[in-house]
Amino acid sequence: MSHRHDLRSIAQRAMIDRGLLPSFSAAVEDQLRGIGGPAAGTGPEVRDLRDLLWASIDNDDSKDLDQLTVAESLTDGAVKVLVAIADVDSVVTAGSAIDGHARHNTTSVYTVPVIFPMLPERLSTDLTSLNEGQERVAIVVEMRVDGDGACTASDLYRARVLNRAKLAYNGVAAWLDGRGPVPERIAAVPGLDGQIRLQDRVAQVLKSVRHKRGALDLETIQARGVFDGERLLDLRPDERNRAKELIEDFMIAANQSTVQYLETRGFPALRRVLRSPERWARIVEVASETGWSLPPAPDARALNEFLMDRRAADPRGFPDLSLVIIKLLGSGEYVVDTPGGSVPGHFGLAVGNYTHSTAPNRRFPDLITQRLLKTAMAGRPVPYGPAELQTLALQCTLREDDAKKVERRVEKSAAALLLEPRLGERFDSVVTAASEKGTWVRIFSPPVEGKLVRGFEGLDVGRRLRVELVGTDVERGFIDFAAAPRGR
């Protein structure tokens, strides 16, 4: 029995059903064969920063490395933070066959058995990846962070960089928390241990400032498949940690600096926004069930105070509360911000100007932003017209939703496969969706959603209840629960 093969077939069909391309065309393969190597990155405007202690921190199994980071203490107590972002545009030219595939899917799709990359792996994991020991050209975001966490100056430019160490989130986090030894790659590079600790210190300050502004302290559980060869053994949560937060805080700062750079040059930006939640009244109800009172109008700072209190009071249940709040907040979207215009900010991050720019190997919006940046640096006209940018913003929003549905669909098939032998068992759960289309709950092991087919009357998002597994369908990704009767 090959679980991986069966799930891969399900994933490919799910991609096609959502209008996504699961494989690359012959035209893409032809273009790929004609690419001789990585971008040269020559010219007087390209700085040479290869001597800095650049390092990447990503998932243990990641091969598409989009960014490197480095920091330098300044004499006045401030810290200069540099984020290098892979210059994908220099290899993936606009209008090419490879660009066409990326523009169609707009994102890499991460399913349990297989990844459907936005770009061919020869690019995303090699020629346009900031791999260890390989010189690459990059877009560098340089930021000055004062001791109080304020980013008081920033600049963007192209540079040649060299990744000194490919680091993994789990190992770095355990070391920073004092739960594990110094990672081997950090120990092998003189000065890198102090460099990572400096970055961690700055990231903690940036995080503190964001939370004081009302950035939401949420923690979701994303399941990763655990295989023994071709057999699926488990779906385990991929939890947040200190190293992930370090990179997240630096990327948020870099994305804000990117928007500022484009604004000062009169360029449009493809902004990432999360509007004020329409279901705030239900969020108020969820908080009141724990004895907490939120104001009647949406207030990110008050919501985050509630979340921080619940994290401290119930750390085991906090990911489930986070999932409920995320569902009630709604989805992010891409919108075009033109010079002099006004668009919503990002409610969850508590920032007004935000974009996606730091993962151009994995997301097409980031590649669009990179092209806007490079033309702004060179003093050339905007590469996309207003109507085209509006079309791309909508396309990227819709395709992101399609990709998430594919990922959830395959995850449910994987969970159904694991749960098949457990029909009749009972589980603790939390309601994650309730509408005319149906009511869904999430159980905790494996962490997956299923439909509540009986006993759903009067339930709303956030309600906890005991459920019984009454049916599974691996092929269709169906997991059916019924509210468990009280008593025996």
Beta-strand (E) ranges in 163-213?
166-168
Nearest-angstrom CA–CA distance, 24 and 29: 7
**CB-CB contact of 138 with 19 (8 Å):** no
Nearest-angstrom CA–CA distance, 270 and 384: 11
pLDDT for position 221: 67
With tokens 């009169």, the residue in question is 266
129: helix, coil or strand? coil
End-to-end CA distance of the chain: 37
Q: Which domains does the chain have, with CATH numbers?
A: 3-274+334-413 (no CATH), 280-330 (no CATH), 423-483 (2.40.50.140)
Percent helix, strand and coil across the chain, each rounded to 5? Answer: 40, 25, 35
**CB-CB contact of 425 with 469 (8 Å):** yes
Quickly count: other Cβ atoms within 10 Å of residue 134's Cβ: 14
Nearest-angstrom CA–CA distance, 84 and 320: 34
pLDDT for position 390: 96
In terms of Cα–Cα distance, which of 155, 164, 162 is closest to 137?
Answer: 162
Mean pLDDT by 10 residues, the chain (488 residues): 90 97 98 93 88 96 95 95 98 97 98 96 97 97 94 95 97 96 97 98 93 78 84 86 95 96 95 88 90 90 88 80 84 90 82 92 98 95 94 97 95 94 93 88 87 91 91 94 78
**CB-CB contact of 407 with 105 (8 Å):** no
Q: Is the bond leading into 298 cis (omega within 30 degrees of zero)?
A: no
pTM exceeds 0.85 for this model: yes
**CB-CB contact of 333 with 344 (8 Å):** no
In terms of Cα–Cα distance, which of 121, 104, 361 is closest to 370?
Answer: 361
pLDDT for position 349: 84
In terms of Cα–Cα distance, which of 449, 447, 412, 410 is closest to 433?
Answer: 449
Nearest-angstrom CA–CA distance, 172 and 19: 38
